[in-house]
């Protein structure tokens, strides 16, 4: 059998393109901002993770330009050998201090960060307890680990305790959870997780990819949001969202970071993040430190949209973060409504099976601190028009 048969047999994308409802790979022709030029027309962006709007902030752009001029375009090697810049060390110090840990280490992408920390920390004889709605990077990190991975039902603390009870006391245990879940916008039940971890001698890793910049004082994340920084062992974050760059990091005790530096294959065998990426992330952290109002503006905008959806009878789920799912239920309906919204000047992210359970398809909408009320009102008008039109068409 030809190994490429699976490629030839995959026709779902071609069929969606032929039907005119393929929703992926739309090209931006402008900066990532609250409004973008997409496929040649102005579009309100409600599908970005640019939560604080820093991708188009001139201070951030200038920081990247200065780093390019000082350090060049790349590092041409791994951090382990020739690829460590003074800039990397300064950034790691800033990140650790920002989230309240002793030390930090950076990786080339957020996805790689989870691969690197999980596969090095959890080894043979250890147990990983992972929320079954955790991000794909956590799932793959667990696969790379030689530890035994057990999934607990989403945010189900009774199920988590049941599993913890059955693990022998002498085995290492690591509980992993998203801080803010990327599809639902739900915040994890960190206080209960901390109580169970203390009761059963487990460590905790919180993936704050979406929480950083969104919750906690100054956007410091989930542990800060609950006042539990000292109770969380490892905090993971990415640069591609609130920090307006590309890369990732973990922050923990210095001895933990030192171990990861010497045992994490994704860290050791990958080139370090380019100078401009590091400088942009550093500038974003400085802005977050100096502007505690920005995460508040972000949540204010999200709450404005929640109220608007409710007033217009749009089936949006309630919550307290800047991610608002709007239910569309079926794959076909999701694709059609996504296309209609784009034609009405609003971009959203369609989420279909198997990323969600059958009958639970949705539009993932997300917001930015710099969205204006005029932009949000125009987006709400587009939603009202499209959902009314869909109902009229019997979709």
- Which domains are present in the chain? 10-45+292-392 (3.90.1150.10), 58-290 (3.40.640.10)
**Stretch 272-293: mean pLDDT:** 98
Which pLDDT tens digit goes with each residue over 195-224?
999 999 999 999 999 999 999 999 999 999
Q: Is 47 helix (H, G, I), strand (E, B) or coil?
A: coil
Decide: 212 and 243 in contact? Cβ < 8 Å.
yes
Question: Can you give the pTM of this predicted structure?
Answer: 0.96
Residue 329, beta-bridge partner list? 361
Half-sphere exposure of 89 (CA within 13 A, CB side): 5
Query: Catalytic: which of 88, 225, 241, 339?
Result: 241
Which two tokens mark 158? 């009774």
Which pLDDT tens digit goes with each residue over 314-340?
999 999 999 999 999 999 999 999 999
Decide: 282 and 63 in contact? Cβ < 8 Å.
yes
C-alpha–C-alpha distance, residues 205 and 117, integer Å: 9
Which pLDDT tens digit goes with each residue over 33-52?
999 999 899 999 999 999 99
* Alpha helices, DSSP H, located in the chain: 5-9, 12-19, 58-71, 86-99, 110-121, 136-144, 157-165, 190-200, 222-226, 254-263, 265-268, 275-290, 293-311, 331-343, 373-392
Strand 41-45 and strand 346-347: pairing?
A: parallel
Report pLDDT for 356: 86
Which two tokens mark 132? 């079954």
When pLDDT is cut at 50, 70 and 90, the band that residue 104 belongs to is: very high
C-alpha–C-alpha distance, residues 190 and 226, integer Å: 7
Decide: 51 and 366 in contact? Cβ < 8 Å.
yes
C-alpha–C-alpha distance, residues 165 and 161, integer Å: 6
Query: Catalytic: which of 88, 210, 339, 371?
Result: 210
When pLDDT is cut at 50, 70 and 90, the band that residue 354 belongs to is: confident
Per DSSP, the residues of 314-360 read --BPP-SSSEEEEEEESHHHHHHHHHHHHHTTEE-EEE-TTTS-TT-
Which pLDDT tens digit goes with each residue over 142-180?
999 999 999 999 999 999 999 999 999 899 999 999 999
Cis peptide bond prior to 224, omega within 30° of 0: no
Query: Catalytic: which of 130, 145, 182, 272?
Result: 182
Give catalytic status of residue 241 as yes or no.
yes
C-alpha–C-alpha distance, residues 358 and 338, integer Å: 18
Measured on CA atoms in the order 146, 152, 154, 157, is the torsion positive or negative? negative
Measured on CA atoms in the order 315, 181, 340, 306, is the torsion positive or negative? positive
Could you tell me which of 130, 24, 27 has the C-alpha nearest to residue 348?
Answer: 24
C-alpha–C-alpha distance, residues 25 and 47, integer Å: 13
Give catalytic status of residue 262 as yes or no.
no
Query: pLDDT at residue 395 above 90?
Result: no
Which two tokens mark 333? 């309906």
């Amino acid at each position: 059998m030809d190994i490429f048969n699976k490629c030839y047999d995959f026709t779902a994308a071609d069929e969606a393109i032929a039907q005119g409802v393929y929703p992926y790979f739309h090209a931006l022709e402008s900066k990532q901002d609250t409004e973008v030029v997409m496929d040649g027309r102005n579009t309100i962006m409600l599908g970005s993770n640019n939560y604080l709007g820093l991708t188009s902030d001139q201070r951030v752009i200038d920081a990247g330009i200065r780093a390019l001029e000082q350090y060049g375009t790349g590092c041409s090697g791994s951090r382990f050998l020739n690829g460590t810049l003074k800039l990397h060390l300064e950034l790691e110090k800033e990140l650790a201090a920002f989230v309240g840990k002793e030390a930090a280490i950076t990786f080339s992408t957020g996805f790689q960060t989870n691969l690197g920390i999980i596969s090095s920390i959890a080894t043979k004889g250890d147990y990983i307890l992972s929320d079954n709605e955790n991000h794909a990077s956590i799932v793959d990190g667990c696969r790379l680990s030689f530890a035994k991975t057990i999934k607990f039902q989403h945010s189900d603390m009774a199920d988590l305790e049941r599993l913890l009870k059955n693990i022998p006391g002498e085995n290492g245990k690591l509980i992993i959870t998203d801080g803010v879940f990327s599809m639902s916008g739900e915040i994890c039940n960190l206080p209960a997780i901390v109580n169970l971890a203390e009761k059963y001698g487990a460590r905790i890793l919180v993936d704050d990819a979406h929480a950083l910049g969104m919750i906690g004082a100054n956007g410091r994340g989930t542990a800060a949001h609950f006042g539990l920084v000292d109770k969380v062992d490892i905090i993971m974050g990415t640069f591609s969202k609130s920090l307006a760059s590309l890369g990732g990091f973990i922050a923990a005790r210095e001895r933990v970071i030192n171990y990861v530096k010497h045992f994490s294959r994704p860290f050791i065998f990958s080139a370090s993040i380019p100078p401009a990426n590091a400088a942009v992330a550093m500038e974003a952290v400085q802005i977050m430190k100096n502007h505690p109002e920005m995460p508040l503006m972000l949540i204010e905008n999200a709450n404005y949209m929640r109220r608007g959806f409710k007033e217009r009878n749009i089936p949006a789920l309630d919550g307290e973060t800047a991610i608002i799912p709007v239910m569309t239920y079926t794959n076909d309906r999701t694709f059609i409504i996504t296309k209609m919204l784009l034609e009405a000047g609003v971009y959203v992210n369609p989420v279909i099976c198997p990323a969600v359970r059958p009958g639970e398809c949705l539009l993932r909408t997300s917001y930015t601190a710099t969205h204006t009320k005029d932009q949000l009102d125009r987006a709400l008008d587009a939603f009202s028009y499209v959902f009314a039109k869909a109902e009229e068409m019997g979709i």
